[in-house]
Amino acid sequence: MTEITILCPTGHLGFTPLEKDSFLAGCELKPDFIIADSGSCDIGPYPLGADGQASPSAWQRHDLEVMLLAARRLGVPMIIGSASDTGTDRGVAQYVALIEEIAAEHGLAPFRMAAIESEITPADLRARLAAGTPVTGLDGRPEADDALLARTDRVVAVMDAEPIASALKQGADVVIAGRASDCALFAAPILNAGMTPATAYYAGKLMECASFCCEPFMGKESIFGRIREDDIRVTAMHPGQCCTPASLASHAMYERRDPFREYVVSGYVDMSECRYEQMGEKTTRASGARFVPSATPMVKLEGAGKVGERRLAVVGMRDPYMIQNIDKAIGWARARLAERFGAPEEAGWQVFYHLYGRDGVMGAMDPTAPTQPHEIGVVVETLCQDGKRGEEICALAARNLFYARLPEVKGTAGAAALMSDEVLIGKPGYEWTLNHVMPVKEAGEMFRTRFVAVDGAARRAA
């Protein structure tokens, strides 16, 4: 019976460095593939919109180096998806360059690398829209239109296993993929081995976050998967961790609305009838997934656009009268800002007062009955297209708390404590503009694959 083994050392390559010991223990078992995802939407819209990265290059390099050296030593393919947090073309190029550098540094023998790009331009998307392709909103979002695309700076399409499986068939030893469904990275070699999409994508879903599917809770430790048709066995590689039916099943529902369905371009995995059984102390077996193909392949699009320049200030309050009347003080401050800069929506600026100590974390969702904290911390956040004007707005938004005119303030020398009288430059504000799907003719049509011959030995000699 066909069997594939996969070693996964991390659920987000580079986000914090992977733990080497359990990874090397996994290498001892001679996996057929070494696979890790490197991206996430959890980091917010800024990295995609600004085409930056959320993780330090040094950590990304560390993880890639550990994995590449092991993969080349074992002579097995290595697959990385959603390169450099976002999976933009920049991320793919950065990881391709890192792999070449690491190969040269270690004088690695020649190997073949595939780079799969998944970025599309807002202009390309506009053209598809104009040609009548519907771009449908997910999660209750409205259909995309020109106005939405005008607010979008950068877009990636999310690939399923097809482009990766195809690169592997063409002899890729290393695959660096742009934005990809986490589970697709694992599904690709399993599909190539002739197993069903149900087994392939389900195995990927279970394995994509590495040790998060084991207990007790530990991040960045390796797990080892042994996959046969409808028989997925996941083993914890850390000596202190076990993969249990409870830990594996609870991971299947992690970070998702619906614990029973995992959507990819070509359909979805139905996990409603899945079963989990303990197989020895550290291993759990999962089975029972079904795959429901979609009538038309639907590719998911993620897009982000800039809202404005962000400025921040930090203010504290200790006067019980001020704390009790903080909403009035903020109301007064907002009114003064509007007098000077115009109504926010018309004049294009926004101010947020984050009240730490009251409801800074949960806002209106916080059910705690109002009590009076003895002090309160206020983070003032402002947004404005123009940074200079934004700085002015933020400074006034903070100082207006200092000068708040409330009838019974006794501390007339200053109604707030300024941590320092300065305005901090925040990262520009971005928003997720696209969380949409678009029909395509073929699952792979949005993605571009190129092959790179890497010869570390020659490069080191040169």
Partner 1 sequence: MMERRNMPTLRDLASTIRSKNAGVDHITFDIIFKERANFEKVRDAKVLSPSIVAVLLRIPPERVTDFVVFEPANAIKFTIRRERPSGSPGERDVFGSQQYAPLFDVEVP
CA distance 398 to 212: 42
User: Interacting stretch for partner 1, rule CB under 8 A, among 16-24, 97-105, 152-160, 362-370?
Assistant: 362-370
Asked if residue 310 binds partner 1 (CB under 8 A), the reply is: yes
Asked if residue 254 binds partner 1 (CB under 8 A), the reply is: yes
Shortest separation between residue 126's beta carbon and partner 1, angstroms: 21
Question: Of residues 105, 258, 375, 442, which one binds partner 1 by CB under 8 A?
Answer: 258
Asked if residue 327 binds partner 1 (CB under 8 A), the reply is: no
Q: Which is nearer to partner 1, 402 or 432 (CB)?
A: 432
Question: Of residues 253, 292, 335, 343, which one binds partner 1 by CB under 8 A?
Answer: 253
Q: Which is nearer to partner 1, 93 or 242 (CB)?
A: 242
Asked if residue 430 binds partner 1 (CB under 8 A), the reply is: yes
Q: Strands, E, within 86-173: which ranges?
A: 111-117, 119-120, 136-137, 154-158
CA distance 245 to 175: 31
Shortest separation between residue 42's beta carbon and partner 1, angstroms: 5
Subset of 137-196 contacting partner 1 (CB under 8 A) = 138-141
Using CB under 8 A as the binding criterion, the count of chain residues that bind partner 1 stands at 50
Subset of 101-130 contacting partner 1 (CB under 8 A) = none
Single-letter residue type at 457: A
Q: Which is nearer to partner 1, 259 or 414 (CB)?
A: 259
For residue 135, the tally of other CB atoms under 10 A from its CB is 20
Q: What is the DSSP letter of 22?
A: H
Terminal Cα distance for the chain, rounded:
46
Question: Of residues 19, 117, 319, 381, which one binds partner 1 by CB under 8 A?
Answer: 381
CA distance 96 to 90: 10
Asked if residue 260 binds partner 1 (CB under 8 A), the reply is: yes
User: Interacting stretch for partner 1, rule CB under 8 A, among 38-46, 63-71, 291-299, 442-450?
Assistant: 38-46
Beta partners for residue 418, in sequence order: 315
Q: Which is nearer to partner 1, 352 or 451 (CB)?
A: 352
Structure tokens at 77: 């393919």
Of 362, 360, 358, whose CA–CA distance to 372 is shortest? 358
Q: Which is nearer to partner 1, 226 or 251 (CB)?
A: 251
- The answer to whether residues 67 and 78 touch, using CB atoms and an 8 Å cutoff, is yes
CA distance 187 to 206: 11
CA distance 272 to 282: 24
Asked if residue 136 binds partner 1 (CB under 8 A), the reply is: no
CA distance 99 to 117: 16
Identify whether 216 is preceded by a cis peptide bond (ω within 30 of 0).
Answer: yes
Shortest separation between residue 454's beta carbon and partner 1, angstroms: 35
Of 101, 93, 95, 79, whose CA–CA distance to 31 is shortest? 79
Question: Of residues 365, 413, 453, 461, which one binds partner 1 by CB under 8 A?
Answer: 365
Structure tokens at 461: 């000699």
**Cα atoms in the 13 Å half-sphere on the side-chain side of 27:** 20
CA distance 442 to 314: 51
Shortest separation between residue 383's beta carbon and partner 1, angstroms: 5
Question: Of residues 42, 105, 375, 442, which one binds partner 1 by CB under 8 A?
Answer: 42
Q: Which is nearer to partner 1, 31 or 45 (CB)?
A: 45
Q: Which is nearer to partner 1, 42 or 146 (CB)?
A: 42
Asked if residue 257 binds partner 1 (CB under 8 A), the reply is: yes
Asked if residue 52 binds partner 1 (CB under 8 A), the reply is: no
Asked if residue 402 binds partner 1 (CB under 8 A), the reply is: no
Asked if residue 429 binds partner 1 (CB under 8 A), the reply is: yes
CA angle centred on 403, ends 400 and 404, rounded to 5° = 75
Structure tokens at 106: 């270690």
What does the binding site for partner 1 look like in residue numbers (CB under 8 A)? 41-46, 138-141, 245-246, 249-250, 252-260, 274-276, 302, 307-308, 310, 350, 352, 354, 360-369, 381, 383, 429-432, 435
